[in-house]
Structure 1
Amino acid sequence: MWVTQGGGRPVRNPTGRQLRFGAELRKLRERAGLTATEAGQLMGIKQAQVSNMEAGRVGVSPERVRTLAHHYECSDSVLIESLSDMTSERTRGWWELYRGSLPGLLLDLAELEHHAHAIRDATTARVPGLLQTRAYALEIFRQAVTELSPPDIEHRLSFRIKRQAILYREDDPTPYEAIVHEAALRMKVGGPAVSREQLQHLLDLSEHEHITLRAITFDAGAYPGSGQSIYYAHGPVPQLDTVHLDQSHGIAFLDAEAQLHKYRTLFARMEAVALPPEKSRDLIHHVMREL
């Protein structure tokens, strides 16, 4: 994933995780009130190398991360060690097999999920991707505004199913909390049979200790964030959290402090109007009986 410290050419197309690592280095430098040139002088390296590190294009050793933090007068030891840990992850994930056949931002999402310490997801019109059955996901891809070819659909479908593996790992499944609006539960995606299978799948998943499923009913009315989907991936420390937005014009990743605070607040307010898990299960059973 990362080139060796001080060796090799800069990476031409860094992954989302590499870009995020570099952005965090830049934040540390800017908080210290230093320019890239001044930081390079402190480190005994050229300004271009500092810029390449902050752009995620070259590798950085854990020792250099700690040296940079010292020069930037950063005393947050937990953040420093979290950034140092990011530099030692060199394995290429399964998602790399899809590079060239799927948009790079989708691969960045899989990489983000793989490393997330916990995930919170809130949806209004669809069942969250990580909880979708194969038949449900297939129908979603078939309805894409830009029509997908059969091979493209198959690539996206297999990719989505493989992403779900983080919920089934034996040793350390990712803690996952989903808030799903009643509209998504009642929408007959693919017809009654597909919908019924999807609802049963939600019930089955909700039995897992690391998965929390809660529903918001129509009776809740309008609430902060209504009509909006939120995907919040927790990092090892709050500063490394990431919000993923899947919008009609494409995928976006947000990590600015103000943005993270906004979406934490929105999610908390959604939780306040959502049913508790047991009553959410009752609602799903009720919707299934009406199919």
Structure 2
Amino acid sequence: MPSTSPPPTARRRRLGTELRRLRERADLSATEAAALLGATQSRISNIEAGRYGVSGERVRTLARHYDSTDEALVDALASMTGERRRGWWEEYREVHSHRMLDLTEVEHHAHALRVAQIINIPGLLQTPDHARALFNQTVPPLKPHEIEHRVSHRIKRQEILHREHPPPYTAIIHEAALRMRFGNRATTRAQLDHLTAMSEAEHVVIAVITFDSGPFHTSGQGIDYFHGPVQQLDTVQIDTDHGGELIDSPAQLERYRLVLDRMEAAALAPGKSRDHIMRLIRDL
């Protein structure tokens, strides 16, 4: 009989990945680590795969066995344990891919967010009508109720920007995305109005790369960079034809930080970006 257990959360899998990295830096096998902990090799393997939960105390014990002296990282890893309730996004499991649910979970727990888009408005800044028009272009086509599920999920994600203590959010948006027409003129105007309104929030920075800003390095993919409590726990998502892909390898994280730095350097300052968006509104 197949298992009915829910798949491990993105957060639990990431905790397991970091514990594995600590073990490998200590040059210990899973069997050797299990012997130090008084457990079985399969137990260590399941913890590292995110299939088994682990307590904060056991995380600290493992870190000591692995000779980890990075207290900030160990504290952050220990804080990732003990969650028994699954997030609100689980109600969308029947209508969304696991990739989207993983993105939502990582996004929800991010300490700060930095995104870059060339041809789309960032999801956390989309209006419902803009999102609906966007989902109407999906291939293969979605049914009306599927579109509404996706719009509902996208708007629900945006609540992180309206918390009592929201995370800092930086959006680097190319002018091509601002001029891309989804829906009618009223939809486009409302979307641009929403961007200018959000740009006034203290925790939101919107930086526009104009067509005449000059060259900058990018593959054209959308980038979502999620800052963790320590840099080692950062995560990046890149848009692909088959959906978003989460990346957490140190080398790749460093690469995408550099890409975002260069893109932001090519963008207008926030005040000038707001003025540029307002000019686009006037030209509609």
Instruction: Report TM bin, short chain.
Output: over 0.9
Matches of 1:207 and 1:225 in 2, distance apart?
27
1:124 to 115, 118, 124: 118
- The residue that corresponds to 1:211 in the other structure is 204
Whether contact under 8 Å (1:10, 1:58) holds in the other structure is no
Displacement of 1:226 in angstroms is 5.4
- The residue that corresponds to 1:184 in the other structure is 177
Residue correspondence of structure 1 range 57-76 to structure 2 within 5 A? 57-76=51-70
Whether contact under 8 Å (1:220, 1:273) holds in the other structure is yes
- The residue that corresponds to 2:96 in the other structure is 102
1:280 to 270, 273, 278: 273
Displacement of 1:71 in angstroms is 0.4
> Closer, same or farther in 2 for the Cα pair 1:258/1:91, shift >3 Å?
same
Q: CA-atom RMSD, angstroms? A: 1.3
Displacement of 1:11 in angstroms is 5.3
Residue correspondence of structure 1 range 64-213 to structure 2 within 5 A? 64-170=58-164, 172-213=165-206
Whether contact under 8 Å (2:130, 2:182) holds in the other structure is yes
Displacement of 1:12 in angstroms is 5.3
Q: Deviations over 1:159-200 (max 9, x none)?
A: 000000000012x11210000000111112112111100000
Letter in 2 for 1:193: A
Structure 1 unaligned runs (5+)? 1-8
Q: Deviations over 1:71-99 (max 9, x none)?
A: 00000001001000000222321111112
1:18 to 12, 16, 19: 12
> Closer, same or farther in 2 for the Cα pair 1:104/1:226, shift >3 Å?
closer
2:113 aligned counterpart, secondary structure: strand
Matches of 1:22 and 1:205 in 2, distance apart?
36
Letter in 1 for 2:253: L
- The residue that corresponds to 2:226 in the other structure is 233
Displacement of 1:222 in angstroms is 2.6
> Closer, same or farther in 2 for the Cα pair 1:11/1:71, shift >3 Å?
farther
> Closer, same or farther in 2 for the Cα pair 1:10/1:136, shift >3 Å?
closer
Q: Deviations over 1:218-268 (max 9, x none)?
A: 002331115232100000000000001121122210000000000000000
Structure 2 unaligned runs (5+)? none
Letter in 2 for 1:290: D
Instruction: Calculate the TM-score normalised by the size of structure 2.
Output: 0.97
> Closer, same or farther in 2 for the Cα pair 1:60/1:10, shift >3 Å?
farther
Matches of 2:131 and 2:245 in 1, distance apart?
21
Displacement of 1:104 in angstroms is 1.5
**Percent identity between the two aligned chains:** 55
Letter in 1 for 2:175: E
The ranges of structure 1 where at least 4 consecutive aligned residues each deviate by more than 4 angstroms after the TM superposition are: 9-12
2:212 aligned counterpart, secondary structure: helix
Displacement of 1:10 in angstroms is 11
Give the length in aligned residue pairs: 282
> Closer, same or farther in 2 for the Cα pair 1:10/1:58, shift >3 Å?
farther
- The residue that corresponds to 1:259 in the other structure is 252
Whether contact under 8 Å (2:221, 2:239) holds in the other structure is no
Matches of 1:10 and 1:60 in 2, distance apart?
21
Matches of 1:255 and 1:11 in 2, distance apart?
25
Matches of 2:257 and 2:45 in 1, distance apart?
31
Matches of 2:71 and 2:95 in 1, distance apart?
40
Letter in 1 for 2:266: V
Letter in 1 for 2:276: L
Displacement of 1:112 in angstroms is 0.8
> Closer, same or farther in 2 for the Cα pair 1:161/1:183, shift >3 Å?
same
Whether contact under 8 Å (1:10, 1:57) holds in the other structure is no
